[in-house]
Amino acid sequence: MFKKLHFVFLLLCLLQSKKFTFGKTEDSSDLPDPSQFIVWGPGLDNRVVLPVYYFFVQMVDSQGNNITSSLGPDVIKLSMESKHYSHLRISMQVLDRHDGVYIIRYKLFQTYKDLKLKLTFRDQPISTFPHLLKGCCYNEDCYCPKKSLARWLGTLNCPKSYDQIDKDFKAFRRINMTRMYKRMMVEFNKPYQMSVIHYVVKDNKLYRETLGEYVGFKMFSDAMLMSLMRKVKLPDLDFFWNLGDWPLVRRTSAHRYPMVSWCGSDDTFDFVVPSYEMTTSTLDAMYRVEKDMLSMEHYRNIDWSSKTDLAFWRGRDSSRERLKLVRLSQKQKDVVDAELTHIFFFRDEKDLKTVNSTPFFDFFKHKYQINMDGTVAAYRLSYLLAGGSLVFKQQSSYYEHFYNLLQPFVHYVPLSSDIEDLMERLQWAKDHDDEVRDFPILLWIVGI
């Protein structure tokens, strides 16, 4: 049985995100009035269990108008307490979105009861605070699945459907896993070419058999699935998951096999799920990773006019076009700064050299970011789009789960797959500086 990929849906739900609009930037000399601040987000509801709880605070002035710029790094403070404990193991973070909104988040290192959140602005309490989370507040590691999937989805406010999932399923009228299983076990058993897992969820327990020699990436798919199973009882499921880079089910092949992949392409039938890059950063946010979709907002603080006019790129040598970009940069150093950080595939090309890698947040000191495919889609695109620079995206047939939401010249500037038009497009951006600086920033791309 291949239930309508419930878990894909669930994964999307787990990813941190929200839709937001930018307020107009009008300066108000009115004083902030913390009693009127607007507060919202899943971190205020302990029926939801998240790896990192988060919510938003929109500052409002005494006239009732939204404040649309930052008031500095330390104005908002969170503290937490519970009458049942003398000491709490909770990490807390306040992220400045630089548009009058602060993101408040906290990570629980164990399950607590009756947590009280205190939120202040310059030591004055903010509107609805203190806020009591009555009852249990579960941490990520707690095995406490909710029984009803439907109710759980409702609590999380998940949308009814996602275009990409609907599109992926359209190619299949019906899937009979009993019949597919034996064929797939043969078709995808190519140990040195493919890495595939057959997963079964039965009574909310996860079983798997692996096909292939290099299956280390199962730690990512395992982590995603188990995180879901700790939160909600999954329906019984039976599916194959491709751990490799390339999608596997070619449109030209005789059989349409149902296969889950991190990357899709125009000439394959694979179902796409959020990349391991994105799910890992969500699961390990505020713990083992620095770069996740919410922290990107905090680092998006470099004023456009203080950025350099350079187009910036760093990466490894995983495609011919990347080499082309680097060589172009050598001739046009005042326009494009593109360097390799690792050489692996093209060791024989003696003119290539490497530089030390640049911290990701420093990419955004430059106005223009280039996104080049590697072996498949470059999984950094979501972070590039969130970083506050203008993204130039090489067109290709590879995509991640959110690409169908992106529009050329609205969210990014397209480049031909051979990047022959790069210089022309860069010139276009320079000529339209006032417009491109306001390209919408796609933070909602990751999901809800």
Ligand X SMILES: *[C@@H]1O[C@H](CO)[C@@H](O)[C@H](O)[C@H]1NC(C)=O
- Shortest Cβ 443–ligand X spacing (Å): 13
- Shortest Cβ 174–ligand X spacing (Å): 7
Asked if residues 119 and 131 have their Cβ atoms less than 8 Å apart, the reply is yes
Cis peptide before 359 (omega within 30 of 0): no
User: 241: which strand partners?
Assistant: 197, 260
- Shortest Cβ 298–ligand X spacing (Å): 17
For ligand X, give the closer residue by CB, 228 or 441.
Answer: 441
b/e burial code for range 5-25 (CB count within 10 A of at least 16 → b): bbbbbbbbbbbbbbeeeeeee
For ligand X, give the closer residue by CB, 60 or 194.
Answer: 60
Residue 251 neighbours by CB distance under 10 Å: 11
Residues 317 and 336: their CA atoms lie apart, in Å, by: 17
Beta strands of 258-394 (E only): which ranges? 260-261, 264-265, 271-272, 308-316, 336-342, 366-371, 390-394
In the chain the first and final C-alpha atoms are separated, in Å, by 27
The pair of structure tokens assigned to 438 is: 């306001």
- Shortest Cβ 60–ligand X spacing (Å): 7
For ligand X, give the closer residue by CB, 158 or 175.
Answer: 175
For ligand X, give the closer residue by CB, 25 or 178.
Answer: 178
Residues lying near ligand X in the complex (CB under 6 A)? 23, 38, 58, 66, 176, 178-179
Residue 410 neighbours by CB distance under 10 Å: 10
Distances (CA, A) of 327 to 40, 101, 320, 339, 373: 48, 42, 11, 9, 16
For ligand X, give the closer residue by CB, 21 or 356.
Answer: 21
For ligand X, give the closer residue by CB, 178 or 356.
Answer: 178
For ligand X, give the closer residue by CB, 31 or 355.
Answer: 31
- Shortest Cβ 300–ligand X spacing (Å): 16
- Shortest Cβ 180–ligand X spacing (Å): 8
- Shortest Cβ 208–ligand X spacing (Å): 22
